[in-house]
Amino acid sequence: MKKTLIRNIIDLIVQAQQIASKIGIPNILQPGLIKEMIIADILGHQLIHSKRDADACQIDNPTIKYEYLSCYVGGTGQLDRMFKEPLLERERSMDRIWRNSKIYLAVFLKETPLEVKVIYEVEPSVLAQETQRQLDKSSNAISHVGFSENWAKNNGKVVYQKVEF
């Protein structure tokens, strides 16, 4: 029974990869990609699947870009490998924020990990200020900076909330 279920899961993943390949997505299992697809679908954005760009853009204007952060309830969304120093690397790290029109923090449910509880929209200037604060405080040259749901609630606005019955 368990072996059959695992085989079914593998077959579905292979099928999903075949579909994704038709729209130019080379690796459906790229870390974070499935959640980015879910967020883009909810917000009506166009997914950008490249690891070296923003996560999504406006459907009718690809120059308007968006960054997605995600976490489970009680966790923190992170920007990984942000440089505190040297200055040139720090500026490049900050460009990952500044290239976006908006930043979104999506909070996923632990019990149903592909279901979104809430999405917050945050202005890049606000996220940049908090990022600078965390980098200045860090003792490491390269850090992960984190943003909790409470931080997003206090510094952004809700743009999607799961309807509870």
Tokens of 33: 């990609």
Checking if the pLDDT of 23 tops 90, the result is: yes
Integer Cα distance of 87 and 123 in angstroms: 23
The pTM for the full model equals 0.93
Residue pLDDT, tens place only, 126-136: 999 999 999 99
Mean pLDDT of 50-54: 88
Mean pLDDT score of the chain:
95
State the sign of the Cα–Cα–Cα–Cα dihedral 43, 44, 48, 53: negative
% of the chain with per-residue pLDDT over 70: 99
Is the pLDDT at 164 greater than 80, yes or no? Answer: no
- Which amino acid is present at 8? N
DSSP 8-state class, residue 30: S
pLDDT-derived band of residue 165, with 50, 70 and 90 as boundaries?
Answer: low
Q: What is the pLDDT of residues 73-118, one digit of tens each?
A: 999 999 999 999 999 999 999 999 999 999 999 999 999 999 999 9
Q: What is the DSSP letter of 52?
A: T
pLDDT given for residue 119 in this prediction: 98
